[in-house]
Structure formats: structure tokens, C-alpha cells
Amino acid sequence: MDLTQRLAGKVAVITGGASGIGLATARRFAAEGARVVIGDLDPVTGEKAAAEVGGLFVKVNVADKAEVDALFDTAATEYGSVDIAFNNAGISPPDDDSIETTELEAWDRVQLVNLTSVYLCSRAALRHMVPQGSGSIINTASFVAVLGSATSQISYTASKGGVLAMTRELGVQFARQGIRVNALCPGPVNTPLLKELFAKDPERAARRLVHVPVGRFAEPEELAAAVAFLASDDASFITASTFLVDGGISAAYVTPL
């Protein structure tokens, strides 16, 4: 068995594919034989990422229904199908903090990008997957969807909880139509988003790192490996799952010395 070609012949759409986990996954998908369509807001980094993986870039605001529909329709038109949807785009802005200080505008902005976008992307992907009777949708939730945090990002946490609940429902609803839907729940990952957040608040970084049993944050490539597994037929009996890739955080009471 050639595991480097697990995704041969598959067409994968990745939102937030120009950086972080999305870019690492685009590279992994391409290495495993998939044709990759990268949806992102930044045309400069998006075009660069698509060129690197021999794929296609489509500029998209994931909170805009028409643009999301165009992203998935373009993938189907150019490559013939939509087999994998990695709904990964998300934000974690500094004005999303404690519920006592997070204003409604910040709450709404995070909900739109992190949660509404997954609704829009899942709908758009399902329009192609249901008629073909197959597909794998992977939605990026977070370990904060299953834990509480005293260093709060209230709208981010709530949005990821919503992603997790929606994923379960879709996974159950479409299971007998040949479509699997799973939630990737990463622990803290060394992405530009996290590095920027923690550079502004080293105390917050230290308070989080101490709770990771393996003693470090994840690398984007480690999450990409998990996404590739969920996208592949190796995960053919896995759907509606909370797929934790968190270094043991969610299972820890105290971390080892």
C-alpha cells in the first residue's frame, strides 16, 4: 500500500489555506495526491500557497455566502468534484477577551468568521457531495470546545463549541449518504495567529503551556497529518467525532514533572 497516494484523485477545498494549519494541510494533501483548492482572503499569500502545491487559489471571504458558494463551485468546475472540505478559516482578535470586556461588535465578528463560515462552507460542500454520494468534511473546532479556560476568549470559545455541535449533527445526518463530518480539535499550535497573540501576552502563553502534558505546543504539520487521516479512507468508519489532537490537555488533571 502506497500511503503517499491515499488521496489520489480527490479534490480538496481548504479555507484559511494560505497559512498555519491550512497551509500545512495543503502541502500534506498535495503530497498524498490530492488536487487542492485554497480559499483565503489574501491573494498574495494565497496565490503563493496554491503555486507551491500545484493547485488553485480562489479569493474568498468565508462569511460571505456568494463567495463561499463560488469557491466550492469553482473547485467542482475546474477539477470535476468536491471530495474533501477542510473548513479551517478562523480568527482570534485581541478585542475578544473576557466576557466583561468583549463588546458585541467583537463577538459578532468572531462568530461570523469562525462559526457562520463553517455553516456556509458545509452547505456549499454538501451540495456537491450529496449527489455524488461521498465526501469528507473536516471542521476546525478547538480543545477549548471541551474545556473551560480562565484566560478567556469568550466569542472564540463559544464559536468553537458551536462548530463542534454542528459537526456532530451533520455527521449523524449525512452518514448514510456516504459523507463523513468530523471536528478537528487542536491544542495550541505554533501558527502565526497564536505566535502573534502570545507575543503580546507572554504571561498568557506561559499559563497555557504549563498545562500541556507533552510540554510543548503542536506544529502545524502534526495537525495536517490528522486532517489527512480524517480525509482519507483510512478513517472510513469515523464520523461525527471530536478528534482531539491536543498533546493530552483535555485528559490532564496535573501535568508530569
Q: DSSP letter for 244, please.
A: E
The residues pairing with 180 across neighbouring beta strands, listed in sequence order, are 136
Q: Degrees (nearest 5) of the Cα angle 183, 187, 189?
A: 110
3-class secondary structure, 107:
helix
Calpha distance 94→106 (Å, rounded): 9
Q: What Å distances lie between residue 132 and 8, 42, 177, CA to CA?
A: 17, 31, 9
Catalytic residue set: 156
Length of the chain: 257
Residues whose CB falls within 8 Å of the CB of residue 7, separated by 6 or more in sequence, listed in order: 29, 32, 33, 34, 84, 228, 231, 232
Residues whose CB falls within 8 Å of the CB of residue 54, separated by 6 or more in sequence, listed in order: 30, 36
Q: What Å distances lie between residue 235 and 25, 126, 228, CA to CA?
A: 16, 19, 9
C-beta separation of 50 from 31 below 8 A: no
Calpha distance 209→216 (Å, rounded): 6
Within 10 A of 144 (CB to CB), how many other CB atoms are there? 24
